[in-house]
Amino acid sequence: MGLANWFSDFCTNIQVQDGGTISIRYKNITKRLNTDFWNTTSETQHSLYVGSYGRNTAIQGFSDLDMVFWLPSELYVRFNNYSGNGQSALLQAVKLSIEKTYPTTSIRADGQVIVVPFKDGISFEVVPAFVNKDDSFTYPDANNGGSWRTTNPRPEIKSMREQNNICNGNLVSLCRMAREWKRNWNVPISGLLIDTLAYQFISTWQYRGQSYTYYDYMCRDFFKWMADQNPQQEYWRAPGSSQYVYDKGLFQYKAKLCYNISLEAIECETATPKLERCAKQKWRKIFGNKYPE
């Protein structure tokens, strides 16, 4: 086995394995909400995967699955006219609906979402929303007396998909590998910021259309690019939506450390004779035990 096989196996190891179970739950929740709010039993209408799962960048072991379910516009008028916290009342109405399908699950309204926790560790976070004319969504925030907020995930999903196609599937792989790095090194960075930085990096990376053979270079150059981000910068703009994506801490230091380790790994790969075991150990130091031994 060579380098390309190592990275191919690594990417396979971190892929989400629970897609079937996730799909069943998603359809169950969608059907229940459609039954109660749209008078239809559709398992797919009026709902959308968002977050990392919607962008196809989630990895095995992720805990929160985000989905938007949009409601009839007349409900916005009703809950917006509440004398109290209409946003909280809307969340409670959606919570009561989902409880009909999952009566023994400890479902709760949590500020902006309905959390549906399952015993395997995956929680669905359902965002009840209303579609705006520009295809963005208005959703409730029950905190601090209640307010309405706006999110626009569709352009993000579209931009990620289009760039991934241009890059021979390498953008999604890079986002997933970076998530495993985040987990292994406890890096203070959000999933959306990982996807945003990976998108920006790979847009101009010279080998973006190549295969797994170039993944050592891709990881090396991405770590270098991340390490060189301005530590004073407070936010970046998400692809597609241009929403503000704020940092959660200084990720640059750990990116620099792993850039140096990747240089050592590549040095082992290119030694004469090749030091394959050494190279694998270096990559495993960066990515953890999902990387093949």
DSSP state letter for 245: E
Q: How far apart are CA 70 and CA 54, in angstroms?
A: 16
**Using only C-alpha atoms, what is the Rg of the chain?**
21
Q: How does pLDDT run across 107-141, given as a tens digit for each residue? A: 999 999 999 999 999 999 999 999 999 999 999 99
Q: How far apart are CA 143 and CA 145, in angstroms?
A: 6
| Residue 83: predicted pLDDT | 84
The amino acid at 268: C
Tokens of 152: 């626009």
| Residue 2: predicted pLDDT | 87
DSSP state letter for 107: -
Asked if 36 and 19 count as a contact pair (C-beta separation under 8 A), the reply is no
Chain centre to alpha carbon of residue 242: 16
Integer CA distances (angstroms), 274 to 197, 202, 267, 278, in order: 32, 28, 9, 9
Q: Which domains does the chain have, with CATH numbers?
A: 19-151 (3.30.460.90), 155-287 (no CATH)
Strands 64-70 and 123-131: parallel
Closest CA to 22 of 99, 97, 118: 118
Chain centre to alpha carbon of residue 71: 24
- pTM, two decimals, is 0.94
Cβ atoms within 10 Å of 248's Cβ, excluding its own: 10
| Residue 1: predicted pLDDT | 64
Residue whose structure tokens are 């140096």? 260
% of residues, the chain, pLDDT over 70: 100
| Backbone torsions φ then ψ of 127, nearest 5 degrees | -100, 110
| Residue 84: predicted pLDDT | 86
3-state secondary structure of 166: helix
| Segment-wise mean pLDDT, segments of 10 residues, the chain, 293 residues | 92 94 97 98 98 96 95 96 92 97 95 95 96 96 94 96 97 98 97 97 97 97 98 95 92 98 97 94 98 95
Integer CA distances (angstroms), 33 to 12, 14, 16, 39, 98, in order: 34, 32, 26, 9, 7
3-state SS string for 22-74: HHHHHHHHHHHHHHHHCCCCCCCCCEEEEHHHHCCCCCCCCCEEEEEEECCHH
The amino acid at 213: T
Contacts of 180 (CB under 8 A, 6+ apart): 14, 59, 287, 288, 290
Tokens of 242: 């241009």
